[in-house]
Amino acid sequence: MIPAAHIPLGGRKMAAGHCWWTVWDARACGRAGLRLCLAVLLLLASRALAIAGAWTLPPAQSEFWSTTTIASAGSAFGPGYALQTGTAYTKVEQTIFGEMGMADGITVILGSQFLAISVDGSRPSTYAGMGYTDFGARVRLWEDGGGIVSMQVIGRAPGAAGSANPAAIGYTQWEADFRLLAGFSFMLLGMPAFVDLQIAQRQRWGDPPDEARLDLTVGAEVAPGWKLMAQSFNVISEGAGTGPDFDLSYAYYKGQVAALVEIDPHMRVGLAAFTTYLARNFPQENGLVLWVNYRF
């Protein structure tokens, strides 16, 4: 699930998974929200947008990330936050993205995703194809010792633009993500640790509503080369959207635990598990994320 953090240990960091919209049963929506239930197919981010943490890369240094997300749902939270039966779906998302330090305090970002989505229910459908292509930059605003503040702007080009496939709804509109990031590294019980906080405004063109986002990551190096993290991804729509596909407001709150292991000075692998523990008009989604990171 694009919400995300880098571990700032020894000047290095880590990207987290992303979240995405999907489909839930019309019985959980009511008639007014039927088309919204068929429309909410978005990131992770996915988590799915894999956005880096507050720290920037040194000039000419690069990182490559391959992120595989496997997610599913069979229940949904209704308008009163009550959990009830929903339409089943599964999704596999493969995201590949890279970052490069262009200058001191400036990091450019480019990534793309491929999706395989299967939705059951009254309108069963499948989609296999491109998701979003993300491009932008992160700029350091302030840094002092173990603390840093930066800003990030990401443009998101839809890979399913023009598609009428219900399984692709939510991947057809242009988006932009404006994000303020803050990171702090410190010692915790003798272990290098960090906190990464991100506040974002997600602008979405077309029918979907804009979103306010808050992501929090806390992590520590529990042993040489082993990092553990606890993460929280929170999204609230800014009202309902327009048109029959987005006629309900929504909110969701996801928790994720993750581990990252350093294989050698250039390669790391990671595994995470996430769940939607509370939501309004949103599926109860669970999944796994696998990372492979290579440093140049």
Per-domain boundaries in the chain: 26-295
* Strand residues in the chain grouped as ranges (E): 62-77, 83-103, 106-119, 125-144, 147-158, 175-188, 191-204, 211-223, 226-237, 251-262, 267-280, 282-295
What does the pLDDT profile of the chain (296 residues) look like in tens digits? 333 445 444 333 333 333 323 333 333 333 333 344 444 445 443 353 434 589 999 999 999 999 999 999 999 999 999 999 888 889 999 999 999 999 999 999 999 999 999 988 777 889 899 999 999 999 999 999 889 999 999 999 999 877 777 777 778 899 999 999 999 999 999 999 999 999 999 999 988 999 999 999 999 999 999 999 999 999 999 999 987 778 899 999 999 999 999 999 999 999 999 999 999 999 999 999 999 999 98
**What is the model's pLDDT at position 52?**
58
**What is the model's pLDDT at position 13?**
38
What kind of fold does domain 26-295 have according to CATH? Answer: Porin (2.40.160)
Main-chain phi, psi angles of 72, to 5 degrees: -155, 165
**What is the model's pLDDT at position 29?**
38
Kindly state the tokens that stand for 38: 């068929």
CA distances from 227 to 254, 261, 268, 269, 295 (A): 20, 6, 10, 11, 17
